[in-house]
């Protein structure tokens, strides 16, 4: 009985694990249904290309029989793709994989007869080889899923990016499969001249990230391996050239650098092909022509990336260092409009950008994205700039209106900022920073004022409608925004007072759970606080009090300090108007 009970228990656990795995798989497929359709499309396209390849593949075309004669020096190498046994047995058999004629060698009488035999053989699809290719493609799809899921587990590909990556893979596969059967590119040393491995991996490294580029360098190589009937030369060249090109453009910041990369890639690709030519056995390949070809391929790849970059940036709506550099130009119309219409907001945004960029650099986040996000985070204030405290003089419009209306105006600048960002076609990452820079925090000052009028007021009416910061850059901009606005209220910002005040502000955001989705660690939060203190201490240098300064009148100093702390508490209530 006990054994039977244990067996039933084991079966239940096993069934539970199977059901759990099945449900997890189904949920994953539902979440990424569109991407799976892209993957299926890539598989079907490559399968179709392989079918066309096998349907049109001939061991030797009909004209070969008439173009050559016994004793002539062959200008190509012809390899038999399948075994041919003639009906009239005269001892002449063509074996699959046999080299009938070799480039640079004279054609023998036996080779000529075999050529006639191949030329007379009707073309037909080798379904055995085709089926094997389809199985390899299925295996390649599985490898791609595992590889991208493992390496890029924290990155969710957008549908546009998935289509873009699939199109690049199909391009590489098509060129590898179809061009190998041409007379000119029958040798793998000539074929690699046509394969745009460097171009594709550079585009992926710049438009998405280097980890994805490295994955696709391997996937391009594996696809070429299948397409070329397992040519080691093609596989190694595509893989290594892809890795080199991705590394060369990683962290590139100037467009002029593409010219330097083009020359470097031309040299390295030529060197790589020469090494492969030395290592692997080959026929009498004109290596000088091949080296010149891959050098040109490498050079033109760098130039083409420069040309393709702008349209693909717009098409994918992605963040690249070059697009961020363009958006960080303070002379563009939106920045000039902000400076004229809301000068206080403009000044505040510049300071937030300085704080956020410095902090992100220290925690190894993206400092340029943080800077651009900070520049644009308050563009929603362009609608009603006079209602925000940094753009006011002595007159405050909120003194004349209901706190509920005031809170509505303050809340609305986030929504208006998102709308303006879409009109400007800003990258989604920048739009996310605009949407998340207040999280779902409470507008405390106006909430407290409203409670004096109505005790039953809901805090939801006085909370920002945005999501919590989802990235480190977004969280840093939120903290920089809060700290910069609050520190403006300090009358005598000594270093200890700055440290204490900034720590209180950051801890308040942490306690309100505004940083829960940002993946910031405690160590990174401490680093951010230190950067904020150092930066603001430098900014307020002309009026800062340092702890080692002697106070000639200690009592008066204490009274002033107590007075300033009271003033800080009063001013912090008005920070929500920012």
Listed residue (244, 257, 231) closest to 298, CA to CA? 244
Cβ–Cβ < 8 Å for 542, 312: no
Neighbours of 269 (CB within 10 A): 28
Q: Is the dihedral of CA 459, 461, 462, 465 positive or negative?
A: positive
Residue 174 banded pLDDT, cuts 50, 70, 90: very high
pLDDT digits 0-9 by tens, 303-324: 999 999 989 998 998 889 999 9
Listed residue (98, 61, 64) closest to 81, CA to CA? 98
CATH 1.25.40 correct for 325-548+563-577: no
Mean pLDDT of 463-491: 92
Neighbours of 170 (CB within 10 A): 18
Beta-bridge partner residues of 73: 106
Cα–Cα distance, 174 to 47 (Å, whole number): 10
Listed residue (244, 233, 231, 265) closest to 201, CA to CA? 244
- Name the residue with higher pLDDT: 512 or 455: 512
Cβ–Cβ < 8 Å for 275, 242: no
Q: Per-residue pLDDT for 63 more than 80?
A: no
Q: What is the CB-side half-sphere exposure of residue 222 using CA atoms within 13 A?
A: 16
The backbone torsions φ and ψ at residue 180, rounded to the nearest 5 degrees and listed phi first, read: -65, -30
Residue 66 banded pLDDT, cuts 50, 70, 90: low
Minimum mean pLDDT range among 11-20, 66-75, 319-328, 469-478? 11-20
Q: List helix spans (H) across 71-184.
A: 109-120, 127-151, 159-179
Neighbours of 118 (CB within 10 A): 22
Break the chain into its structural domains and give their ranges.
Answer: 31-55+126-316, 61-120, 325-548+563-577
Cβ–Cβ < 8 Å for 74, 105: yes
Cα–Cα distance, 281 to 187 (Å, whole number): 12
Q: Per-residue pLDDT for 367 more than 50?
A: yes
Q: What is the pTM of this model?
A: 0.78
Cβ–Cβ < 8 Å for 104, 78: no
Cβ–Cβ < 8 Å for 183, 58: no
pLDDT digits 0-9 by tens, 344-357: 999 999 999 999 99
DSSP secondary structure code for residue 78 in this structure:
E
Measured CA distances, 400 to 382, 393, 395, 461 (Å): 21, 15, 10, 20
Minimum mean pLDDT range among 8-12, 274-278, 368-372, 499-503? 8-12
Average pLDDT, the chain: 83
Considering 100-104, 150-154, 177-181, 350-354, the range whose residues carry the highest mean pLDDT is 350-354
pLDDT digits 0-9 by tens, 26-48: 454 445 566 777 888 888 889 88
């Amino acid at each position: 009985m006990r054994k039977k009970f244990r067996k039933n228990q084991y079966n239940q656990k096993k069934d539970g694990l199977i059901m759990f795995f099945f449900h997890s798989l189904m949920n994953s497929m539902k979440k990424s249904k569109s991407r799976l359709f892209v993957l299926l499309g890539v598989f079907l396209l490559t399968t179709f290309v392989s079918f066309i390849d096998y349907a049109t593949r001939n061991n030797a075309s009909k004209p070969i029989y008439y173009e050559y004669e016994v004793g002539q020096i062959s200008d190509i190498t012809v390899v038999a793709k399948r075994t041919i046994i003639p009906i009239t047995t005269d001892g002449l058999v063509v074996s699959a994989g046999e080299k009938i004629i070799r480039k640079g060698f004279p054609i023998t009488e036996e080779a000529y007869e075999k050529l006639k035999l191949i030329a007379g053989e009707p073309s037909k699809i080798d379904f055995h080889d085709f089926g094997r290719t389809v199985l390899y493609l299925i295996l390649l799809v599985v490898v791609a899923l595992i590889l991208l899921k493992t390496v890029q587990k924290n990155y969710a590909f957008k549908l546009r990016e998935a289509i873009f990556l699939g199109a690049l893979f199909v391009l590489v596969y098509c060129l590898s499969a179809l061009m190998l059967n041409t007379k000119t590119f029958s040798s793998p040393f000539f074929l690699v001249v046509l394969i745009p491995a460097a171009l594709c991996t550079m585009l992926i490294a710049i438009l998405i990230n280097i980890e994805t580029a490295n994955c696709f360098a391997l996937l391009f190589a594996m696809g070429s391996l299948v397409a070329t009937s397992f040519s080691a030369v093609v596989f190694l060249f595509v893989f290594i050239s892809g890795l080199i090109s991705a590394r060369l453009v990683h962290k590139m910041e100037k467009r002029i650098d593409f010219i330097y990369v083009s020359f470097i890639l031309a040299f390295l690709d030529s060197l790589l092909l020469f090494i492969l030519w030395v290592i692997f056995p080959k026929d009498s390949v004109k290596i000088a022509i091949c080296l010149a070809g891959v050098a040109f391929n490498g050079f033109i790849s760098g130039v083409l990336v420069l040309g393709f970059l702008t349209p693909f940036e717009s098409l994918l709506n992605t963040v690249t260092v070059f697009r961020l550099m363009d958006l960080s130009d303070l002379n563009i119309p939106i920045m000039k409009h902000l400076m004229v219409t809301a000068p206080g907001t403009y000044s505040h945004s510049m300071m937030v950008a300085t704080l956020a960029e410095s902090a992100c650099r220290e925690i190894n986040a993206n400092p340029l994205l943080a800077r651009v996000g900070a520049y644009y985070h308050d563009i929603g204030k362009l609608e009603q700039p006079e209602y925000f405290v940094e753009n006011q003089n002595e007159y405050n419009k909120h003194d004349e209106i209901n706190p509920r209306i005031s809170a509505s105006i303050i809340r609305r600048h986030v929504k208006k900022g998102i709308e303006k960002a879409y009109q400007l076609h800003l990258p989604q990452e920048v739009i996310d920073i605009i949407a998340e820079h207040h999280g779902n925090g409470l507008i405390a000052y106006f909430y407290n004022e409203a409670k004096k009028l109505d005790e039953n007021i809901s805090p939801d009416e006085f909370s920002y409608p945005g999501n919590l910061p989802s990235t480190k850059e977004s969280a840093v901009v939120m903290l920089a925004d809060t700290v910069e606005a609050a520190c403006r209220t300090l009358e005598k910002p000594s270093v200890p007072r700055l440290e204490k005040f900034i720590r209180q502000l950051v801890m308040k955001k942490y306690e309100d759970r505004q940083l829960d989705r940002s993946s910031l660690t405690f160590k990174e939060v401490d680093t951010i606080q230190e950067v904020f203190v150092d930066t603001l201490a430098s900014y307020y240098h002309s009026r800062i009090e340092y702890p080692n300064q002697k106070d000639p009148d200690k009592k008066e100093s204490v009274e002033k300090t107590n007075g300033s702390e009271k003033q800080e508490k009063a001013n912090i209530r008005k920070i929500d108007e920012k």
